[in-house]
Structure 1
Amino acid sequence: MKTELIIRSNSSDIDFALLKDGKLVELHNEVVDNNFSVGDIFLAKVKKTLTGLNAAFVDVKSEKDAFLHYHDLGPQLLSFSKFTKLVRTGKLKDYTLKNFRFEKDIDKGGKIDEVIKAGQELLVQIVKEPISTKGPRISSELSIAGRYLVLVPFSNRISVSQKISSNKEKDRLKRLAKSIVPKGFGVILRTVAQDIKVAELDKDLQNTMQRWVNMCKQIQQAKAPSKVLSEMNRASSILRDIFNDSFTSIVTNDPNLHEEVCEYLRGIAPEKESIAKLHKARVPIFDFYGIEKQIKALFGKTVSMRKGAYLVIEHTEALHVIDVNSGNRSNKANSQAETALEVNMIAATEIARQLQLRDMGGIIVVDFIDMHSAEHKRKLFDHLREEMKNNRTKHKILPPSKFGLVQITRQRVRQERNIETKEVVPSSGKVEAPIVLADKIEADLNRLIEEKHEGIVLHAHTFIAAYLTKGLQSVRFKWFMKYKKWIKIISRDAFPYLEYQFFDKDGKEIG
């Protein structure tokens, strides 16, 4: 599979688009002055404890105070607090923990006001960025992510990613980790650590240990509340999490970012440095790689799929609702049941892509087309789980309910990605952009040509007809090159903006 990472840098933010075989599968955005990224560590100050919630509000210099629940304190809170105090007063210079005397673990069912007090300084980590009216969600159980492992201070636990299925490989990685991890630290071995040699693991461990030491030096002179350790810049963190041998190119329009990427690749995969390229063409980078067109088509309320089917995606305050529709495709399957299964399988693949693309979190309810066969329901459920395997965010999928609804929960750690795909038409307000409607028309046209219709004529609103026929390299000309058929387009002033119809050579409606 061909994998490309396209990075577009503007003055205020950076966009990251991950393409697999040319298809957009992930889209991330980093605001240049974002102070609260997942993974950032702060020396914070407790504002107040709330016994009713068994939680505390903590000052991390955000607009809204951060929320810290008792269960997010971590069992080694007292050891962390003691360590922080000793470092702050200059009484502890050795940050490796090999001579540090650990305190007793806190009670799992304890009360927040028994272990922390207002005005107390704490080391905390951002686990969920500020979303809407809520402040950041934080934890005082810290971790520092590397390429192959995650370093966990004040722990002796060594665990391996559940995505590594081989027990033999898990045992091998645990043995290697035990031989190199210093006293007082635990590690979580990441999926990309599979088949990695001990020398590479040790190098990654030393890098993360150095970040820990640098953070401890910051603590000594920091004034609470302040950030003492930043997560890697977004380019490096995305590469750290997703980079593998399938990457064929990493392209950016920013010379500084290009150098950052090259430097990172030199450190983790020197043989791959040549895939980092600087975009110099006059055409904007997202247009050059066809990303803008995909964004317009994929982020609207309605998402077209193969075979004329489509999704309708709605977002309420409490949850997301996705409705699967078969569209106006003709039934070429042997039965209605097979048609429903075919559309649902296509929809499951697209839904998995949409969840990752939009970074949708919380509760997602999917209304698939009704299926009465238990075998078909099981097949759909298994297919959806398989498609969601590559989704790095924690999630859980429940089997179809009595009403045919599939419920998904997906961890939310950042703002959902919402992109306006509609344009303003003076007479009718916001409507979908012509490029989006053109993709829907082409999907229907593709189906009609597969069904062997001849002499196809398209009737569409004046604006849409003009968009499809404008210029030598018009959309209609591209259709001609693709299908080897010339599609006659008739402008209809009476049509609403979104309406279009297909007719055959005999004037019979076929769309």
Structure 2
Amino acid sequence: MNRELIINVSKSEITIALAEDKRLVELGKESVKTGFAVGDIYLGRVRKIMPGLNAAFVNIGHEKDAFIHYLDLGPQFASLQKLVGQLTGAKKKNVQFDTFKLEQPIGKTGKIANLLATGQSIVVQIAKEAISTKGPRLTSDISLAGRNVVLIPFSNKISISQKIRSAEERKRLKKIALSILPKNYGVIIRTAAQGKNETDIGQDITSLIDKWEEVLRNIKTLEPPSLLLGEMNRANTILRDSLNGSFSAIVVDDKEMYDEVREYIKVIAPEQEKIVKLYKGKIPVFDHYDISRQIKSLFSKYVSLKRGAYLIIEHTEAMNVIDVNSGNRAKVADDQESTAMDVNLMAAEEIARQLRLRDMGGLIIIDFIDLHKAENRQKLYKTMQEFMAGDKAKHTVLPLSKFGLMQITRQRVRPEAIEHLEEVCPMCGGTGKVTSTVSIERELENMISYYAGEKKIKQLRLLVSPYVAAYLKSGFPSVRRRWMSKYGFRLKIGIDQSLGIVEYKFLDRKDRVLL
């Protein structure tokens, strides 16, 4: 598979597109000005304890208070708070972390009010970015991700990725980690570490320990709310987690970002430094690689498939719903079961791609075309699992229900990509419907009756959109003339292009807006 990472840099944001065989499969945006990314570590201040939720709201500097539940404090929270207390207390002690005495782990059924108090300083890490009206979701179970390992402070446990199946390799990696790790540090050895030598793994662990030491120094010197350690930018995060031999090119259209990416590649995979390229073309990089067209065509309610079939994707507050339609296929095929299976398999591949592309999260319900044979339903379920296997977000795929519906749950830690590209229509509120012309006519007449009858106003000027103006002036007699005759006053109708289709303003003789 040919995989390309295309990075577009502007003054306000960085946009990263991942294409597989020239098809866009992931799209990420990172604001240059706003922080609060997943993985960032903050020194926050507890704003409010919520005993009923067994949770707390924490001020980390975001416009909305962040949220942390008791279960997200982590088993070593008592040790973390003891350390924070020593670093931020009146004496501000110097702490040697590898000799620090750990406290007993906290239980899973405790009360957050027994551990936190309003105004208390707390070290937290962003687990989920702010989405819609919700602030960031936090954890105090701190971890630092590297290329080969994930460092876990306040732990002495070594875990190994289940994808590394060789018992001999697992034993080798564990031995390397044991020989390098100081006391009070644990690690999760990632799949990328498979086959790596002791030097590569050792450098990774050492760099992560240095980062944790930086966090400790910042706790001592900064006041909450403050950023203690920022996660690397989104482009380098993707490189850290996804870079392998299948990448054919990493294209960047900004010299500064190009240098940054190239330096990072030189550290984690020096043999692939040559695949990083600086784009110098005259047309925008996304246009050159056909990314712009794919963004416009894919972020639609309707997604076309081959030979007339299509998907309809609906977003609601509670879930996302995807309907699979055969379109013209049903008219040309004799075997209904075969046609349904063919369309469903084609749809499954595109749905897996759309989930990654739009970064859809939560509950996803898919209404596939009905299949009557049990073996076909099972095959569709297995195929969907295979297509979803490449998705790095945590997900669960359930078999088809007796109603032919498939349920998928997918973790989302960042705002859905489509939220960055679309806004809710201010006129219809996202419903796709506005007040009918008849209703507007009735509403306007009620206002005119009020001004002409109760307020005794003899002359009015009405500003409306061109659409409503045409309606009020057309016909014989027109709506405007009927109103003037009925209420015995003078009415002028003007056009205001800035008004929405069903918005209006009444003005008096001195062009003052009437309320």
Q: Aligning the two structures, in what range does the TM-score lie when normalised by the shorter sequence?
A: 0.7 to 0.9
1:488 aligned partner: none
Deviation, 1:185, is 1.1
Residue aligning to 2:444: none
Q: Deviations over 1:266-313 (max 9, x none)?
A: 111222112111111111100000111111221111111123211110
Q: Does the C-alpha gap of structure 1 residues 172 and 389 become closer, same or farther in structure 2, counting only changes over 3 Å?
A: farther
1:132 counterpart residue number: 132
- Quote the residue 2:234 is aligned against: 234
Residues 300 and 421, structure 1, Cα contact 8 Å, conserved in 2: no
Structure 2 counterpart of 1:298, one-letter code: L
Structure 1 counterpart of 2:359: 359
* Amino acid in the other structure paired with 1:227: L
Q: Deviations over 1:316-340 (max 9, x none)?
A: 0111000011111256666211111
Taking structure 2 as the reference length, what is the TM-score of the superposition?
0.79
Aligned to 1:121: 121
- Contact 2:329–2:339 at 8 Å: present in 1 too? no
Alignment of 1:25-174 (within 5 A): 25-89=25-89, 91-95=92-96, 97-174=97-174
1: CA distance, partners of 2:325 / 2:160: 41
Q: Secondary structure at the match of 2:203?
A: helix
Name the CA distance, whole Å, in 2 between partners of 1:52 and 1:36: 27
Name the stretch that deviates more: 320-329 or 266-275.
266-275
In the alignment, which residue of structure 2 is the partner of 1:274? Answer: 274
Q: Secondary structure at the match of 2:99?
A: coil
Rounded Cα–Cα distance in structure 2 between residues aligned with 1:403 and 1:261: 49
Task: Give how far 1:386 is off.
Answer: 0.8
Q: 1:211 is matched with which residue?
A: 211
In 1: Cα distance, 2:193 partner to 2:326 partner: 42
Pairwise CA distance, 1:166: 4.2
2:386 aligns to what SS in structure 1? helix
Match of 2:343 in 1: 343
SS of corresponding position for 2:409: strand
CA distance in 2: counterparts of 1:329 and 1:278, whole angstroms: 45
The one-letter code sitting in structure 2 at the alignment partner of 1:105 is: P
Residue 43 of structure 2 contacts residue 224 of structure 2 at CA under 8 Å; is this kept in 1? yes
The aligned residue for residue 394 of structure 1 is 394
Partner AA of 2:94 in structure 1: K
Contact 1:299 1:421 in 2 (8 A): no
CA distance in structure 2 between the partners assigned to 1:106 and 1:225 by the alignment: 25
Residue 452 of structure 2 corresponds to: none
Q: What does residue 182 of structure 1 align with?
A: 182
2:220 maps to 220
Shift of 1:163: 3.6
1: distance between equivalents of 2:175 and 2:308?
53
Change (3 A) 1:348 1:166: farther
Q: 1:303 to 1:170 in 2, by over 3 A?
A: farther
Q: Does 1:405 align with 2:415?
A: no
Q: Distance in 1 between matches of 2:369 and 2:107?
A: 49
Determine if the alignment matches structure 1 residue 285 to structure 2 residue 290. Answer: no
Partner in structure 1 of residue 250 of structure 2? 250
Query: In structure 1, what is the Cα distance between the partners aligned to 2:297 and 2:172?
Result: 46
Aligned Cα RMSD in Å?
2.1
Give the partner amino acid of 1:315: H
8 Å Cα contact 1:331-1:339 kept in structure 2: no
Could you tell me whether the CA contact under 8 Å between 1:381 and 1:399 is conserved in 2? Answer: yes
Using structure 1 for the length normalisation, give the TM-score. 0.80
The offset of 1:263, in angstroms, is 0.7
Which amino acid in the other structure matches residue 68 of structure 2?
Answer: L
How far apart in 2 are the matches of 1:176 and 1:386? 33
What amino acid is aligned across from residue 396 of structure 2 in structure 1? K
Q: Which residue of 2 aligns with 1:329?
A: 329
* Percent identity of equivalent pairs: 51
CA offset digits 1:320-362 (Å, max 9, x no partner) = 0000111112566662111111111111111111101100011
**Structure 1 stretches lacking a partner, 5+ long:** 425-429, 432-511
Instruction: Report the counterpart of residue 23 of structure 2 in structure 1.
Output: 23
Cα distance, 1:421 vs. partner? 8.3
Q: Which residue of 2 aligns with 1:469?
A: none
Q: Distance in 1 between matches of 2:366 and 2:139?
A: 32
Are residues 46 and 420 of structure 1, via their aligned partners in 2, closer, same or farther at CA, if it must alter by over 3 Å?
closer
Report deviation, 1:241.
1.1
Partner Cα separation in structure 2 for residue 175 and residue 297 of structure 1:
51
* Structure 1 Cα separation of the partners of residues 134 and 98 of structure 2: 39
Report the Cα distance in structure 1 between the residues aligned to 2:108 and 2:219, rounded to whole angstroms: 28
1:334-483 mapped onto 2 (5 Å cutoff):
335-418=335-418
The residue aligned with 2:9 is: 9
Cα distance in 1 between the residues matched to 2:151 and 2:212: 9
Contact 1:296 1:421 in 2 (8 A): no
Q: Secondary structure at the match of 1:98?
A: helix
Native 8 Å contact 1:43 1:228 kept in 2: yes
Q: Secondary structure of the equivalent of 2:35?
A: coil
- Could you list the per-position Cα deviations for residues 136-172 of structure 1 after superposition, in whole angstroms to 9, with x for gaps in the alignment? 1001110111111111100122222234444544343
SS in 2 for 1:57: strand
1:198-246 per-residue CA deviation (whole Å, 9 max, x = no partner) reads 2211111111111111111111110111111000112211111111111
Residues 169/340 of structure 1: CA separation in 2 closer, same or farther (3 Å cut): farther
Decide whether aligned partners of structure 1 residues 344 and 168 sit closer, same or farther in structure 2, where only a CA change above 3 A counts: farther
Report SS of the residue matched to 1:5. Answer: strand
Give unmatched runs, 5+ long, in structure 2: 426-430, 433-515
The Cα offsets for residues 360-394 of structure 1, whole Å up to 9 and x where unpaired, read as 01110000110111111110111111111111111
Partner residue of 1:303?
Answer: 303
